[in-house]
Structures are given as structure tokens and as C-alpha cells.
Structure 1
Amino acid sequence: MKRSILCSSTLLLSFALVACQPSAQQSAAVAETPEATPAPNLTSMLHNPSRTPANTARDEYRNPVETLEFFGVEPNMTVVEIWPGGGWYSEILAPYLQANGQFYAAHFPQSETRDFYINSRNRYAERIGSDPLFANTIMTEFAPLEQSAIAPAGTADVVLTFRNVHNWYMGDGEEALAGAFETFFTALKPGGVLGVVDHRLPEDRTDDAMRSSGYVKQSLVVKYAEQAGFVLADSSEVNANPQDTADHPRGVWTLPPSLRLGDENRAHYEAIGESDRFTLKFVKPATSE
């Protein structure tokens, strides 16, 4: 009887040990489990295959990593870029947001009749359809005097506009600025961020200097952003250039990359580099409970 009990106990212990061992199939499954894909970082986006040498050459002046980090852009966010043009910043943002975020490109409106705007929009649309790194890009449109649906209302974490405010002011004056910032406010979530970069006109210059120079006063941008409901959260000098006097024969387009004077004083303007720019971070206030 004692031997029988011992044998039974031994069998039970053996079954328990076998039950605790993973099967060959389970072991293989564990071994084949892929490692988690690391989150993308902005610095790596500077070297993605969508970028051209002509665009990367402008990094030293436009400081894209530092600028986007200042605005708090993360890879899981919904981000809207206003008037992306040829896609200089889109080449960084689209792949950065592709896996876990959402990228909206609010390009020139389809109602536009000028050839430059039509052609720019069409080229951008073609790129979205052919470049895999733009696969998660949704193309919308923006016009400052229209009620543009740049993204579904209240869904964007960040709205970004680079070197565009002066165009709206030169085209339709302060009314255009009022309409633009109201559109951005509508698209953002409570607590969302609006990032603005543009060519800076010194505050002691006359307002007339903004009508054709391509430079705009920081105070004017703050005025209309706050009028729309935004709060100025921070400013950065990351895109400042103290060598730029903001007083050139062909306005801001005298400087690189446009160099509208051609070879006339070219070395001088290339030595200045791109324009002096303000970098402003606004926040849409969170709704009170």
C-alpha cells in the first residue's frame, strides 16, 4: 500500500512538471514574436528618402527638429499643416505621423484660379498618390476668407503654419488674418497648439512695410491670434537671424532661397542667409468644467 501511494505521488508530480513546461509550439511562438517597433524621432525624419538635397540644405536655416519640438509635436498626434506648398515640412511630418498619428495638409483651395496655386496644389496631390511616405496624408484646403474645413472641428492637436501669414496680409489685409486664426481655432482641440513661423518685421517700422516686403510684425500676429481666442504660451528665437535687416530691394525674396536679384550682390545675401523669423506657440484654452 505504501508503494502504491508513493507511485501515485510520483506520477502527480511528473504531470505537474510537464504541465508547467511550454510546448514546442508555444516556444516557437514566443521566439517569433517581433520586437516592438521603436517610436519615430524627428532627427531620423531628416534623412528619410522623400527629402531632396535641395531641401536638406535649408535645414540649417529652418531648424525643423528644434522648431517642431518647441511646438510639442508627437508621433501619435493629429497635425494640420497650412499651405504646405511643395512639401518642405510635409516631408518630415508625413512619415513622422504615418504609423500612429494623422497628418492633414490644408493646401490651396480648389476655387483658386491663379496658375501658380493650381499647379502647386496639383503637384502636391500627385505626390500624395505616389510617395509611400505620404500614405496617411489627408489633403484638405484653406483660404483665409472662407470657412475652410482644414480638419474636422475640435480634432487637431496641433496646427502649423510656416511663412504664410505675410501672404494673407498682403492679399487681403487684416480681414484675412482674422479669418485664418478663427479657422485654426475651430479645428483645434481644447488645449491644442497653434505654431506660427514667419518673417519678422521690426516693430518700429511702419505698417506699410508689411504690404509688399514679405515681412510681418509679430505684434500683429499676436493681436489676431488672441482676438480668435488663443493664448500666447511661448516664443522662441530658434529661427532668428540677427544678420537680417528686413530691408532689402526685393523684400524677403532678396535673400536665399529666392535670391530675386540674381547675381547682383549674391555673395552678400547668401552670407546673410534666410530671413529673421519669429516662432510663436499659441494654445487654445481648455474648456472650463
Structure 2
Amino acid sequence: MKTLAALLAPALILAAAPIAAQATTLAEAATGKHRSAANIARNAHRHPVETLTFFDIKPTMTVVEISPSAGWYTEVLAPYLKDQGKLYAAGADPQGNDYNKKAVENFKAFLATHPDLYGKVEPTVFAKGNTDGLAPAGTVDAVLTFRNIHNWYMADWAQDAFNAFFKALKPGGTLGIVEHRLPESADDARMKSSGYMKPSAVRAMAEKAGFKYVASSEINANPKDTKDYPKGVWTLPPNYAEKDVDRAKYTAIGESDRFTMKFVKP
């Protein structure tokens, strides 16, 4: 005669299967135990769930995250896409300078911390003069860039970046942008030094590359940001470029005022 445990075992397995098969939601990925308390705290400033929802990112998509840095957004995207989708992390050129080599090493070390979540992430190269390697041409559902465009603009290759995004995306694919916002009334020269970009300038580069503007969102807006700091946007948290000078003031302001834009490749 079978024991009660033996009789119940198949039912328990069947009951557990749907739970185990459930895909990770954006909310679960954004607040999961794989993330540090400090990174989770930044959700209040960066709004990853709302932002990725605005970009209409689905778990079945092939996505490129541009310049993932230490992996803050990778922590959200990788678990969300790991079962049904694909994530390319287009980062620094390991053949570049020592800083870039170290950045690549650090990112690979980050991926190794949770191979169950990050093991399918494919690092690729995206750098000045080497923009075509971010993903195979015409294979990507979405390209996402968070607070990066000012760096390319200051180094005079922002348009090349947009052209590369257009090439990588499938027709109908999405380009999602979050960037520090410079007022339209400000001098254009400030985009070369402050870390802030005018939304109109970013839209112009996207449209020049062939993208069609879809919509903007105020998800990542911060009206407390006056954008007039001694060391540009890096004065604010999390960088605190002025160290302890007026730290309480900058903490109260919070992270930068950011615009969020969605484009599509026709």
C-alpha cells in the first residue's frame, strides 16, 4: 500500500509546476533579493517598473541595454528576460584604455554573482568608432539607454550612436531614452559640459537617424532640480561631485530631472 506522502507527491509536483514556471515580473525583478538595499532605494528616483512599462518591454523581447555600467538596470532586465527573451549588454571596449578594461572586468564579475539570473546576458561592445557590434543588425526589439547620451554628445559621437541603434532594431522596434533634462531656454553650449541635454536636441538626433517619435513621459521628472550646480549634474546624488559640500542640500533635491522618450523604427 502506498503511503500518504507517495499518493500526494504527484499532486504536489503538479501544483508546484505552474509556480516554478511563472516568469519574473518587473516588480519582482526591481525589488528582488538579488538587489542591494541601496539599489532598491534608487527605485524611488529611477522608476524602473514604470519606465520599462512605458517602453512596453515584454519578457519575450530581444533587448539591448546600452552602457550598463555597474548593472543597475541589468539587475531588473536580466531576470525579466531570462526565460523567454534575450538581453545584450552593450558596454565598453575591452581593447580600449585601462579604465574601459577594468569596467568590462567589473561587469563580468557582476554577472557572475548570480549566474541563475545573469547567466544568459550577452556582453557586447559599444564604443566610439565601434558602434556596430552592439547586436546583430535588424534582430532587436528594443534598444534602451539610461542617462548616457550626454557622454556621447560631449565626445562628439552621439549621432553615430543613434544610427547604430536604428541599424540594430527590427522594423517596428523601440528606442527608449532616459536623459538628464536641460531647459530648452538654456544655452546649447551647456550640453557640452553640464551632463544635461535638451529634449529637442535628442529628438532631432533620433529623427535624423530615421526614428519616428512616439511619446514622452514625466515618470522621471524632478522639479526640485535647478540644473545650475558647480559640477553639473554630477553634483547631485548619487555622485555628489562636491563631496560633503552642501551634501544635505543636494540630498534633499534628489537625483536629476530626467525626460523619458519613446521612438520607433518605421
Tell me, yes or no, whether TM beats 0.5.
yes
Larger Cα Rg: Structure 1 or Structure 2? Answer: 1
Shift of 1:257: 0.6
> Structure 1's 44 and 233: CA in aligned 2 closer, same or farther, altered over 3 A?
same
Pairwise CA RMSD of aligned residues?
A: 1.7
Shift of 1:260: 1.2
Secondary structure, aligned partner of 1:45 = helix
Secondary structure, aligned partner of 2:190 = helix
> Structure 1's 144 and 227: CA in aligned 2 closer, same or farther, altered over 3 A?
farther
Shift of 1:195: 0.4
Unaligned runs of 5+ in 1: 1-27
State the alpha-carbon separation in 2 of the partners of residues 203 and 142 from structure 1: 29
**1:230 is aligned to 2:211:** yes
Say whether the 8 Å CA contact 1:152–1:187 is kept in structure 2. yes
- Provide, for residues 228-282 of structure 1, a one-character-per-residue CA deviation record: whole Å limited to 9, x for no partner: 1100101000000111111110100110111111221111111110000010000
**1:128 is aligned to 2:111:** yes
What is aligned with 2:146? Answer: 162
State the alpha-carbon separation in 1 of the partners of residues 149 and 259 from structure 2: 12
Of 41, 45, 48, the match for 1:57: 41
State the alpha-carbon separation in 2 of the partners of residues 183 and 117 from structure 1: 20
Say whether the 8 Å CA contact 1:145–1:180 is kept in structure 2. no
Shift of 1:128: 2.2
Of 187, 205, 214, the match for 2:195: 214
Shift of 1:29: 6.9
Say whether the 8 Å CA contact 2:94–2:100 is kept in structure 1. no
Shift of 1:67: 0.3
What is aligned with 1:200? Answer: 181
Shift of 1:151: 1.0
- Provide, for residues 44-85 of structure 1, a one-character-per-residue CA deviation record: whole Å limited to 9, x for no partner: 112223211121121100001000000001111111100000
Unaligned runs of 5+ in 2: 1-8
Structure 2 counterparts to residues 1-289 of structure 1, below 5 A: 32-33=13-14, 35-36=17-18, 37-113=21-97, 115-132=98-115, 133-172=117-156, 176-285=157-266
Read off the aligned partner of 1:63 and give its amino acid letter.
H
State the alpha-carbon separation in 1 of the partners of residues 139 and 259 from structure 2: 26
- Provide, for residues 60-118 of structure 1, a one-character-per-residue CA deviation record: whole Å limited to 9, x for no partner: 000010000000011111111000000000001011111111010001112321x3322
Say whether the 8 Å CA contact 2:137–2:167 is kept in structure 1. yes
- Among all aligned residue pairs of Structure 1 and Structure 2, give the percentage whose two residues are the same amino acid: 51
Task: Give the TM-score of the pair, scaled to structure 1.
Answer: 0.84
